[in-house]
Amino acid sequence: MGQYQPPLRDMQFVLHELLQVEDQLAGMPRHAETNRELIDQIIEEGGKFCAEVIFPLNQVGDNEGCQWNNGEVSTPTGFKEAYRQYCEAGWPSLTCDPDFGGQGLPQVVHNVLYEMLNSSNLSWTMYPGLSHGAYECIHAHGSDELKKDYLPKLVSGEWTGTMCLTEPHCGTDLGILRTKAEPGADGAYLITGTKIFISSGEHDMAENIVHLVLARLPDAPAGTKGISLFAVPKFIPNHDGTLGPRNAAVCGSIEHKMGIHGNSTCVMNFDSAQGWLLGQPHKGLQAMFVMMNAARLGVGMQGLGLTEIAYQNSLAYARERLQSRALTGAKAPDKVADPIIVHPDVRRMLLTQKAYAEAGRAFSYFVALELDRSLDHPDEAARKEADDVLTLLIPIIKAFLTDNAFDCTNLGMQILGGHGFISEWGMEQYVRDARIAQIYEGTNTIQSLDLLARKVLADQGARLKQFGRRIESFVIAHKDDPAMAEFIAPLADLAEKTQKLTMEIGMKGMQNPDEVGAAAVPFMKVAGHLVFAYFWARMARVALEKQDSGDDFYRAKLATARYYFSKLLPETAYWIRVARAGAEPLMALDADLF
């Protein structure tokens, strides 16, 4: 079954020592009273729920899966009861608007909670996770009447939500979706079509499910400019909060999948189901981006959560498993063999997991704090700057963290050896669960194209330069500190190389757009490491200042930073070379010669 302990010490290091969240929030009137003591209390209680309530259900969910029967779906044993406890404790309302029953806490606190939830039980966490995205979308684009009818129930957790985009013939290319929306009575629309791969589309954990559905109005122009967004509930609510009749939104089947067995992945059939318009006609994709960006950040947090749980269980096994002697002589002479943690390559795998988990934590908490700034900072220029940073970093956090998660769960299986391949130890489930995160919410290739083409080249690198100025400022501030040289020099070097690579790809792309497609994934890898190097250098600075405190935590942080810069960052040389190799090796072979 394995084990999970919330990494509270490192979470608190990132929040309070690295990001100084309390000081940052003090500048936002809405969150000015959110202090360190409150934040720590929340994450400690959240950690207990994760470790004690939903982590023990993780393998149960994987083994049992969900069961479909005549349009109804039952979730694995214990899922419904755990969700009831989650709602009774008020967790769904954590960051929601107090006007609708929420607690109004900052997004960064929500992000910390979701790291722990994802480590503990990814399949279970998808039910409330998607619901929060639906809440945010309706809050941003719903009419006053829709907000009144829907938001209090989503905030309390009594209702859950989904996002319905994909159809059998289209996934990423939403411009060709076929689901129709015909005007009906009393301001409603009649939604007809089939959506597939709908996570949490049908289940028994909540009394109602609100589907956010993309569809076309009769006068819709072709392509993505003709898509509208609708709220389509499983049960049509009355204005007094009670549930009315069953809507014509039915789960036709559930998918049998490689991983995330505890989450119901549904085929949803809408047969003139009643729905209500969210936002403006033909502007549905823009409205849905509120939920899609939240989902992409959420998937990045899934990657972080799985990286952390893989590391914890790999480390526990490596400390206990006795196998062979250390190359430099016995380290446990009183035992028949040494624990495998003495072996250099086992340490390589453990340190890779540790370095990626800790950098991913710093990066994702920073992004959540920027989300708070974009929403709640009193200065418009600060909100705009934060929004630009988010626009740049969201595809990186989705793709880079989930790529790392698949690598790190695989490393965990390698560390456990044969036991890693056996289901009772739990590691092979993490590998299977991690694989989907590279695919859904926009494949990592799509995220890479989005980053390079839309977020970097489309504005001539303005957003990238803006983030680069933060790196440059940090480099200038510490370039004369000999203790920081081993971190500052490679960071500055990669920043310069990334700028040159961006210009080179941009020039080639103007001549041949395939050059951008060929370079996108390598560029994503380089950009991800640039961000990680920046945060590892910042964490190293804090650790250097406190290394004489007697706290071994800072010694470990410095050792991990040195491992990252010496053993992981150098792969950027490979990715830069691949990016520069261009489109010709990929496009030279005629399709019929493959």
The angle at the Cα of 228, spanning 224 to 232, to the nearest 5 degrees, equals 135
Q: Which residues pair with 72 in a beta bridge?
A: 69
Task: Residue 427: name the closest of 17, 52, 59 by CA.
Answer: 59
CB 109 within 8 A of CB 44: no
Strands 249-254 and 265-278, how do they pair? antiparallel
What is d(CA 31, CA 371) in angstroms, rounded to the nearest whole number? 13
Query: Which DSSP string do the residues of 375-393 spell out, in sequence order?
Result: HH-S-HHHHHHHHHHHHHH
**3-state secondary structure at position 402:** helix
Q: Which residues pair with 278 in a beta bridge?
A: 229
Active site residue 428: no
Integer-rounded Cα radius of gyration of the chain: 24
Q: Which residues pair with 68 in a beta bridge?
A: 73
- How many CB atoms neighbour CB 234 within 10 A? 23
CB 315 within 8 A of CB 350: yes
User: What element of type H or E holds 371?
Assistant: helix 344-376
Q: In terms of residues, how long is the chain?
A: 594
Contacts of 96 (CB under 8 A, 6+ apart): 102, 103, 104, 132, 135, 139, 151, 154, 155
Which residue among 136, 202, 358, 441 is the active-site one? 441
CB 470 within 8 A of CB 429: no
Tokens of 592: 């019929």
List the catalytic residues.
441
